[in-house]
Structure 1
Amino acid sequence: MRILVINAGSSSVKFSVFDMDTQTTRFKHEIEIGTIGFKATLAQIPVALVEAGETRIDAIGHRVAHGGEHFRDATLVDDDVIAAIEVLAPLAPLHNPPALYGIETGRIYWPNAPQIAVFDTAFHASIPACAHTYAVPQAWRKAGLRRYGFHGTSHKYVMERVAQELKASTRDLRIISCHLGNGASVCAIDRGVSVDTSMGVTALEGLVMGSRSGDVDPGIFGYLQRSLALSIDEIENALYHESGLTALSGLGNDMRRIETAAAEADPQAQLALNVFAYRARKYIGAYAAAMGGCDVLAFTGGIGENSASMRRRICDRLEFLGLYLDEDRNSSVKLDGFAAPQIQQPHSRIRVIVTQTREQWMIAKEVHRFLSVQADKRPDQLPPAIPVAVSAHHVHLTQASVEALFGAGCQLTKQRDLSQAGAWTAVETVNVIGPRGIIRSVRVLGPCRRSNQIEVSATETFTLGIEAPVRISGDTADTPTLTLEGPAGRLQTNGLIVAQRHIHMQPEDAKRFGLADRDLVDVAIDSPPRTTVFRDVAVRIDPQFKLEMHIDTDEANAAAISHGGDGDLMLTLCHARLTACKPVRNIFITTES
């Protein structure tokens, strides 16, 4: 399959042709918009492809900056999708309109090729409410005001490339990805998913950029209107086009020129460098705190890839996190052949990696995946409905913890078998004690595990007074500590989680659904009188599993599903149906020949 990727930006149009069968780039080109306008520039794409002999195009992928809340995955373009992208254009005025011109070009010159929109915001759809919610009136939030984030395809590529370089799973890494260029953003990627990012409802928030301001006090709009009689349009235009490095340095947005001027004692250029580095370092520290640590700091984008001096400035004073930069490695970075060199000292706890971003390649991969999934959907082989079970709070214990809580030599007493093979409820219960409150008589489930795990609902974390991460069962690293109380004693242990909603399935079921282990899917649960859609449901695959979706009591209440709530896994009369798939597999990237 040959995929044409069109990335229509605010000042240039980048386009490439990828052969997905050989995993190679057949053609790559960029045209500056200049004075001829978007339509005339985009009309040069078919001419350039014909001249290069690239006349076969099987599908077209378009980079679309803003997908709002609706578009969480690659999407087949139709009239409704085009209308939705137009509605979102005010949130990305520099990027969504050019993308629409690109889609129009694809329809004109390749009318029979499917066109797929790939959204910058989609990778950040996993950001939790505490990170994406603005503290503004509810009416504004209902109108769509929230953090969306951008550069999603770049951050996703960085995540996968880092995992490949370290020969690790993305699920085992906490990555802070810094895309530094004319547009700049930082992303916190916790075990394979984006959990926060510096850009917000628009691409204006966050880091200092080439001509964009990044973070400013929102009160400036009223102040500037009153003091300088500036209109909202004038202020917004200045924040997008006349701010950032351009405003600070007085020399434009070219980092090389600014660094040269700073070395020649230009105070404005020096200030520009210091503000740029300080803002990036501040976000890195914040995201390390948000994730409870950091394993990898990655740099990409024009500045991140090419400015050793800026990488050093940003990494300065991060030794408290265990980051120690190697000056020689940093100054000798070479990125030929999509290399991803590590530039930290041997004893540095945090790995520091530099890599080229490959947004167009990621778009091609998303298009290929989307079309492959669509091709696998056969009406005569519909996957089965998924039974839904509700799990209330419960505890898994090690044998040592059982003895500490219930007495030396104690063995858990089986009460009844659960639906998943080998799992059962025990007669024993414990009290779960937090700094604010207690949850009493929490059921212990068997058999014993290698580490303790306490599963509660999000509401119950407020009862306990502890913030718990949303995790897949078994992932208890860096989780909060609390107290368990049994008849024979107490113990302090980590392992408190809010279990991520998930679906157990056997390999045969996964094949029928077209899914892989740890994929994230959207699921609709019909529970009259309502249908509730749960997003980011994790897929768990094992030959011993029985097909079943597990949700907790909070989620059951949201879907109006009745449940016992006594700690057992209670099968309901409801069934779930798959509505969308967003794979987050640990895909290793094939380097081009």
Structure 2
Amino acid sequence: MLVFILNAGSSSLKYQLMNPVTAETLAAGICERIGLDGVLKHEFGDDRELKMDVDMPTHKEAIESVLRTLTSGEGKVIDSTDEIEAIGHRAVHGGEKFSASVLVTDEVINEMKDLIPLAPLHNPANIMGMEICRELMPGKPNVAVFDTAFHQTMPDYAYMYALPYDQYAKHKIRKYGFHGTSHYFVSNEARKMLDKKHNTRIIVCHLGNGSSVSAVQNGECIDTSMGLTPVQGLMMGTRAGDIGAGALQYMMRQENLTIDDALNVLNKKSGILGISGKSSDLREVLEGMQNGDDRCRLAVDMVAYNIKKYVGSYVAALDGIDALCFTGGIGENAALIREKVCAGLDAMGLVIDPVKNNKRSKEARDIATNGSASRIFVIPTNEEFVIANDTFKIVSEMKK
């Protein structure tokens, strides 16, 4: 089965064409600057790449361009869209309504529209991608895979905020968590590496421009760092992470900011960018630190300290730990961050091996010392495989 995987953003569109049975990716790419001038970047074959300027006034033209590129010209990998058996969509917010991936129907789309207030930047684009694919490839099943679904196993005492209860009852204000497909994939890979499916206590650090930590017990999430929205939790590329409400109020008064202004600061001007004053890209900040920039040093120390605090609290929540996992662009590549996070965690049974930690590899690996009571894994994430696999399972059940 070939699954067309779509991740539709407000002005971009990521895609892959994958066989979930063999995990082979035939092609992958991104449409950028939709609504402006339009750029299509297409990867296929043996590391071959195409970059094309394509007129994309809307997402419909972007998806049409992708399908045309997959089936014709230099980037062709299939003869026709008839070879695509299903479409899997990344969906950011499923609220409490969706605790698992689902077949896209009119009812599902309407329920997702009801959830737009919880994800006003993401859900509309996700829905648009589903509606366009149903129009362009009628009759082919579409499946929605939700970022929030994996975290729906959290107990109420973990996901509730200590606000008046009627705020939850009326508006469903609570912690939902994100990056669920990544946390699910990595925690399952860790269980395989531990060769242990039961009584497992795993902490996953998904670290990139957006970052989150989850505590996973016996394959189920019991807590995660992101909340109602992705701004809560860790310090990230441009997001502030955890911040006291009083500090936010004080900043608004001092700077004469509206709530929208303040949220723009929290989401787009804070985090690594805000502290370093240099970049939201940790690689550039690490370089700045090495060149003696003290604000870059501060940003790096804050990033590692934030992660370390969550790891410690989740070891307590799990009553111990079997494996600590690092994934995402920073988690997989920033050896210094892993070193700083693990420093001093010997009492928790986590002892990092500096030689293993500094050895670069694209494969999953254990970077703990041989004598470490708990394992420390670096595991490349594969969210697209989760989407493709869930789509395959749901479509296969339909055919029975």
| 1:570-589 mapped onto 2 (5 Å cutoff) | none
Partner deviation per Cα, 1:98-144 (whole Å, 9 max, x = no partner) = 21232133122212211110101110110001100111012211110
Displacement of 1:30: 2.6
1:201-212, aligned counterparts within 5 Å?
A: 201-212=228-239
Letter in 1 for 2:97: H
Closer, same or farther: CA 219–152 of 1 in aligned 2, 3 Å: same
Task: Look up the match of 2:41.
Answer: none
Q: Cα–Cα, structure 1 residues 42 and 271, in superposed 2: closer, same or farther, change >3 Å?
A: farther
Tell which has more relative contact order, 1 or 2 (C-alpha 8 A, sep 6+). Answer: 2
The amino acid of 2:192's aligned partner reads: Q
Give matches, 1:384-463, under 5 Å.
none
Aligned mate of 1:111, from 121, 126, 138: 138
Q: Does residue 326 of structure 2 align to residue 265 of structure 1? A: no
Does residue 1:367 correspond to 2:368, yes or no?
no
> Counterpart of 1:175 in 2: which secondary structure?
strand
Offset at residue 375 of structure 1 (A) = 3.4
Q: Which amino acid aligns with 2:196?
A: A
For residue 224 of structure 2, the aligned residue among 187, 192, 197 is 197
Matching residue's letter, 2:110:
A
How far off its partner does 1:95 sit? Answer: 2.4
Q: Which residue of 1 aligns with 2:14?
A: 14
Query: Which whole-Å CA distance do the structure 2 matches of 1:301 and 1:74 have between them?
Result: 22
Structure 2 CA distance for aligned equivalents of residues 284 and 30 of structure 1: 34
Match of 1:168 among 191, 196, 205: 196
Which residue pairs with 1:345 in the alignment? 369
From 188, 202, 205, the counterpart of 1:178: 205
8 A Cα contact 1:33 1:41, kept in partner: no
The alpha carbon displacement at 1:28 in A equals 1.9
> Among 25, 44, 48, which residue is 2:69 paired with?
48
2:317 is the alignment partner of 1:314: no
Whole-angstrom distance in 2 between the partners of 1:282 and 1:109: 48
Are the structure 2 counterparts of residues 354 and 12 from structure 1 closer, same or farther at C-alpha, using a change threshold of 3 Å? farther
CA distance in 2: counterparts of 1:67 and 1:230, whole angstroms: 31
Match of 1:219 among 243, 246, 252: 246
Question: 1:229: Cα distance to partner?
Answer: 1.8
Inter-CA distance 9–162: structure 2 relative to 1 (3 Å threshold): farther
| Residues 1:276 and 2:303 are matched in the alignment | yes
* Maintained 8 Å contact 1:7/1:360: no
Name the structure with the higher strand share. 1
Which residue is 2:183 aligned to?
155
Shift of 1:25: 2.0
* Contact kept in structure 2, 1:43 and 1:105, CA below 8 Å: no
Work out whether residues 305 and 354 of structure 1, in 8 Å CA contact, stay in contact via their aligned partners in 2: yes
Deviation at 1:363, TM superposition (A): 0.6
State, as a whole percentage, how many aligned pairs show the same letter: 39
Q: Aligned partners of 1:265 and 1:131: how far apart in 2? A: 41
| Cross-structure match for 2:321 | 294
- Structure 2 unaligned segments of length 5 or more: list them: 39-56
Pairing 1:19-168 to 2, within 5 Å after superposition: 19-33=19-33, 35=36, 36=38, 39=59, 40-51=61-72, 52-54=76-78, 55=80, 56-142=83-169, 143-168=171-196
How far has the Cα of 1:41 moved from its partner? 3.6
Deviations 1:301-329 (A, max 9, x none): 00001111111111112112111110110
* Larger displacement relative to structure 2 (18-27 or 186-195): 18-27
Residue 156 of structure 1 deviates from its aligned partner by 0.6
Q: Report if aligned partners of 1:204, 1:213 keep a CA contact under 8 Å in 2.
A: yes
How far apart are 1:221 and its partner, in Å?
4.1
Question: What RMSD, in angstroms, separates the aligned Cα atoms of the two structures?
Answer: 1.7
Letter in 2 for 1:273: V
The DSSP-based 3-state class of the residue aligned with 2:366 is coil
User: Which deviations, in whole Å up to 9, do the C-alpha atoms of 1:229-248 show, x marking residues without a partner?
Assistant: 21111111111111111111
Q: Do the aligned residues in 1 keep the contact of 2:11 with 2:32 (CA within 8 Å)?
A: yes
Contact 2:241 2:271 in 1 (8 A): yes
Check conservation: 2:27, 2:77, Cα contact below 8 A: no
With over 3 angstroms needed to count, the CA separation of the structure-2 counterparts of 1:344 and 1:71, relative to structure 1, is same
Asked if 1 retains the 8 angstrom alpha-carbon contact of 2:327 and 2:380, the reply is yes
1:237 correspondence with 2:264: yes
Deviations 1:145-196 (A, max 9, x none): 1111111100110012112223222x23210000000110000001110000
Q: How does 1:482-521 map to 2 (within 5 A)?
A: none
**Closer, same or farther: CA 42–333 of 1 in aligned 2, 3 Å:** same
Rounded to whole Å, the distance in 2 between the matches of 1:244 and 1:84 is 33
Q: Supply the distance in 1 between the matched residues of 2:262 and 2:304 (Cα, whole angstroms).
A: 25
For 2:205 and 2:326, locate their aligned partners in 1 and report how far apart those are by CA, in whole Å: 5
SS class of match (2:209): coil
Task: Confirm or deny that 1:355 pairs with 2:379.
Answer: yes
Measure how far apart 1:10 and its partner are: 5.5
Q: In structure 2, what is the Cα distance between the partners aligned to 1:83 and 1:102?
A: 14
- Please give the alpha-carbon distance, in whole angstroms, between the structure 1 residues aligned to 2:121 and 2:357: 33
Paired with 1:10 and 1:359, the residues of 2 have a C-alpha distance of 19
Give the deviation of 1:219 after TM superposition: 2.7
Q: Output the CA distance in 2 between the equivalents of 1:158 and 1:38.
A: 34
Contact 1:175–1:189 at 8 Å: present in 2 too?
yes
Task: Name the structure where helix makes up a greater proportion of residues.
Answer: 2
SS in structure 2 opposite 1:219? helix
Partner SS, residue 28 of structure 1: strand
> Separation in 2 of the partners of 1:184 and 1:11?
21
Aligned length: 372
* One-letter amino acid of the structure 2 residue matched with residue 334 of structure 1: S
After TM superposition, give the deviation of residue 292 of structure 1 in Å.
0.1
Letter in 1 for 2:28: K
Task: Report the Cα distance in structure 1 between the residues aligned to 2:272 and 2:305, rounded to whole angstroms.
Answer: 13
Letter in 1 for 2:183: H
Aligned-partner SS, 2:29: strand
2: CA distance, partners of 1:299 / 1:293? 17
Are residue 253 (structure 1) and residue 280 (structure 2) matched?
Answer: yes
Q: Given that residues 13 and 33 in structure 1 are in contact (C-alpha distance below 8 angstroms), is that contact kept between their aligned partners in structure 2? A: no
1:253-281 CA-partner distances (Å, limit 9, x unpaired): 11110000001110111111011111000
1:79, CA displacement in angstroms? 2.3
Q: Distance in 2 between matches of 1:261 and 1:226?
A: 33
Letter in 1 for 2:67: P
Whole-angstrom CA distance in 2 between matches of 1:21 and 1:263: 45
CA contact (8 A) 1:65 1:96 kept: yes
- Deviation per residue, 1:179-237 (Å, 9 max, x gap): 00011000000111000000011111000111111111123443233332211111111
Query: Partner letter of residue 354 of structure 2?
Result: E
Gap regions ≥5 residues in structure 1: 377-593
For the structure 1 residues 213 and 93, does the alpha-carbon distance in structure 2 shift closer, same or farther, using more than 3 Å as the test?
farther
